[in-house]
Structure formats: C-alpha cells, structure tokens
Amino acid sequence: MVSDQEFYHIRSNFVLKLSLLIRTMKIFNPENETIDRHSQDCLDLMGGILKTEKRLCLRVLTDAIFINEERVRMRKDSYQAIKFIMEELKEKKIGEVLFTEGISPEDFREFLYLLVSNGWEMRDDGHPLMNQLVEKKIDSIAVKPFEPISIDEKLRREEVKKIYFRSIAMVKEVSQNLMEDKPLAFRKAKRLSQSMVDLVLNDKSALLGLSTVKNYDEYTYNHSVNVSIYSLMIGAKLGFSKRALAELGLAALFHDVGKTKIPSVILKKPGKLDELEWEIVKSHPTIGVEEILEFHQLAEVKPRVLFGIFDHHLYFDLSGYPTMKRKKKQTLFGRIITIADVYDAMTTPRCYRKEPYSPADAIKLMWKECGAHFDPILFKVFVNAMGIYPVGSLVQLDDDELGIVYDTNPRSELLDRPTVLTITGEGTEGRTVNLSDRDEKTGGFKRSIIRCLDPKKYNVYVQEHFL
Ligand SMILES: [Fe+2]
Ligand SMILES: [Fe+2]
C-alpha cells in the first residue's frame, strides 16, 4: 500500500522527470540514451500511480497542475519543472493528459514526440493531438483542450461536490436510523442544510449542475437533496432570511422521510398500485411528521418545517392528500416543496417510467398545472430561477453546435439566454458561451438556442459534465 506521503513524492518526481524528458527530446536526437533513461524513469513513476489508481490524469489549470485531482505542490527542486510543464502544455492548448493502464514505452514516446513537434492549428472538432493519437491507434493516452479555469474555481466546485454528496449520505443515514427505530441525526442535518443555503446563495450554478445527478438506485436520497436545492432556490429568490432558508432546506430534505416506513415492494412496484397500496403511499407525509415528532422534542423542529412535510402533496387547490375535514390553505413551505418535488420526480427515471422528461419538457408540462397543483406565482419564481432552458438541458445552437446549459441568466428578460457548455462530439467538453453576448457590429446576439434535444438520442451523459 502506498502512503499519501509517498504519492506526494511520486507526483512531484513525475513532473520533474517529465520536464527533463521533454527538454532532452527537444535538444537530442531520438537515439540518445539520456532520452531512454528519462523515459524509463517517467514510466516507472507512472506505474506506481497506475497500479493503485488505474489512471494518471495530468490536468493544467491557470495556476496549478493536478495529478488525479491532487495538486502537485511546489517544492524547491520542482518549481521550475511545474512551471515548464504548465507553459509547455498551455502553449500547445492542452488542458488535460490522461494516461491509462497498458501504456507501452513506445506509445509514451510517440506521444511525446507528437507533443514537442510544434505547429498544429486548433480546430473545432477536438484537440488536433487527440486526433493524431486516434489515427496512430494509441488508446492508452488521451488529451483534452485547455480551458482557463483558476484554482479557486476548481476548489470551489470540489467543495460544492463534497457538500452535495455529504448531504445524500446524511439523508441515507437518517432514513436508516428511522427504519431501525434509532434517534435521528437532526443536528447534523441542520448543519448541512445551512451549508447548502450558503451554496445556493453564492454558487447556485454548481449546485444546480449536481442536481442533474439522478441516481436510479438511490432515488429517495438523491431526490431529497435535489428537492432541497430547488426549494432553496425558490426561497432565495423570494428573499427569505438565512434562517428561514435553513428551515425550508430541512423540510425539503425530510419531506419524504415517512416513506422509510412504507414497504419497498409498494414503493418500487412497476405497475399501477391497487387501492389499498395507494392509501398506504398516501400516508407518507403524515408518517413523516409523526416520526420526527416521536424522536425529537418539538423545540428542535419549527412547526413550519413539520407543516411543509405534512402538506407537500396537498396541492395549491387542495385536491391532493392528506385529505382533511377542515380545508386549510397549503403552507408556503408546502407550496414550494410541491414544485421542487414534482420537477425532480419528472426529470428522474423511475420504476414506472424509465424515460424521464427533459428539464424543459417538465417545465412545459408543469406550466399547465399552474393554479391547480402549483401556486402560479411561486411557479413563475421557480422558472425565473431555473431559466426556460434549465441547467442540464441539452440544446442545439443556431450554428448547429450542441451544448449543455451550464448556468442560468440572472436577468429575467434574458431567461432564454443561459450560459452553455458546448460539446463537440460524444461527451467532449468544450467551452462555455454566454448566449447574451452580442455581436459588436450588428448588435444582434451572437448565438441562440434553436431547440432542446434528448440527451439519450445523442449519447450525451449530462451529469458527467458537472462531476
Ligand atoms: Fe412525497
Ligand atoms: Fe418527494
């Protein structure tokens, strides 16, 4: 087993040796034995990483180099090497080099010679060096074009990811505790809800991107976190205080907690539920409230959190459940969670509907239920926060390029002009383009969306672009 400390040295030494090798290749002819020696040193170090991690991904950011998501730290002896590799790759417009298991010394050398032989023109269909590797059938090495992202951006995205996945694990833990009649980790949940609030307020797009992660097997846990994200976005647009947002987030995280007490054969039944089964499913909001009350003193949980859980299926026109003798308006938290809940359910594959709706189709269909199922004003707020083409939509631009909606436009009059990450070919990352950019000469928009596409038909895995 290689320790973290050893990995740290292997990473630094690899960069050091690689810089030596490239420099030598530029000076000496290919038969020179120094090249052999440095090349073997690199391969040995690479082998140490490939053995445990199966891949070595060398990534260049504006101001740092990463190997397998770990930053290569500057040491006195490696400083020059890091700078050299960074400049060398940036000059060749390479952002990432991926070495995988099975790489041969010949492939490695061939790749480096292609790298040092200057003079290719960047084209739209991926990096020219990648095309050359494909032509030469070198499939253990891949390259991606350079994108100027700073280390802050990178670290921020990592942080967002951590909070997102921690929240999923927490919902899972709470649900399992409930199943085993153990007390809930409510304090922890509260803390996570607060971190999510900070993210929604500061870094909405990264979190929205992650909400495109739709895990079929872990549906309930993923779903709860996604519903929380969407609910918080509505709350933030409405100008809720941080405290109110944290409570809303908590209610959303636990809106379906009552389902832990419903047999999974019913929850996962692919066909139509019979009357009795349906009655059982309909009891989940009430059970949820009961469970939380049972394990917690009321002081810990605010009444509006409980009400939000209780009436998240009641609907705006009160046509949903639980059925109540005395009609009472659906609470604000309940109305918000309803919208978030239905949207996430529609855009996720389920046992009874394997093909989910695209984000844009879900919005269109939900629009028809405004005033009936959904509070029309809140729904408008939701669309305003999500955009007409929500984050994660696959779209075709008017120059025929395909892209994934990456961030919404904060200006409400430009809802149809989000930021799009263009993808060229199958899942190849490109650049982000802001569709509200105008042409200086004509004053018109440079590019526009002409339609939404089904990612499955184009073999695009949207979530991969956010992970
Ligand atoms: Fe529910
Ligand atoms: Fe739900």
Amino acid 365: pLDDT: 93
In the reported structure, the alpha carbon of residue 297 is separated from the centroid of ligand 2 by a whole-number distance in angstroms of: 25
In the reported structure, the alpha carbon of residue 256 is separated from the centroid of ligand 1 by a whole-number distance in angstroms of: 5
In the reported structure, the alpha carbon of residue 89 is separated from the centroid of ligand 2 by a whole-number distance in angstroms of: 47
In the reported structure, the alpha carbon of residue 394 is separated from the centroid of ligand 1 by a whole-number distance in angstroms of: 28
Tens-digit pLDDT profile for residues 31-70: 888 899 999 999 999 998 898 888 899 988 766 788 887 7
Amino acid 70: pLDDT: 77
In the reported structure, the alpha carbon of residue 327 is separated from the centroid of ligand 2 by a whole-number distance in angstroms of: 23
Domain 153-386 has CATH 1.10.3210.10: yes
Amino acid 425: pLDDT: 44
Q: Tell if the pTM clears 0.85, that is, is over it.
A: no
Amino acid 372: pLDDT: 94
In the reported structure, the alpha carbon of residue 405 is separated from the centroid of ligand 2 by a whole-number distance in angstroms of: 25
Amino acid 284: pLDDT: 94
The full set of domain ranges for the chain reads 4-145, 153-386, 394-465
Amino acid 14: pLDDT: 93
Amino acid 378: pLDDT: 95
Amino acid 391: pLDDT: 84
- Environment class of 358 (CB within 10 Å of its CB; exposed 0-12, middle 13-18, buried 19+): buried
In the reported structure, the alpha carbon of residue 220 is separated from the centroid of ligand 2 by a whole-number distance in angstroms of: 8
Work out the angle between the directed axes of helices 79-91 and 4-27 (0-180°, nearest 10): 60
Residues of the chain with pLDDT under 70: 1-2, 62-63, 76, 118-125, 148-155, 184-185, 213-218, 295-299, 349-354, 424-430, 467
Calculated CA dihedral for residues 422, 218, 382, 462, nearest 10 degrees: 10
Task: State the Cα–Cα distance between residues 315 and 347, nearest whole angstrom.
Answer: 19
In the reported structure, the alpha carbon of residue 219 is separated from the centroid of ligand 2 by a whole-number distance in angstroms of: 10
In the reported structure, the alpha carbon of residue 292 is separated from the centroid of ligand 2 by a whole-number distance in angstroms of: 17
Amino acid 456: pLDDT: 75
In the reported structure, the alpha carbon of residue 286 is separated from the centroid of ligand 2 by a whole-number distance in angstroms of: 13
Instruction: Identify the nearest ligand to the CA of 220 by its number.
Output: 2
Task: State the Cα–Cα distance between residues 327 and 309, nearest whole angstrom.
Answer: 17
In the reported structure, the alpha carbon of residue 338 is separated from the centroid of ligand 1 by a whole-number distance in angstroms of: 8
In the reported structure, the alpha carbon of residue 257 is separated from the centroid of ligand 1 by a whole-number distance in angstroms of: 8
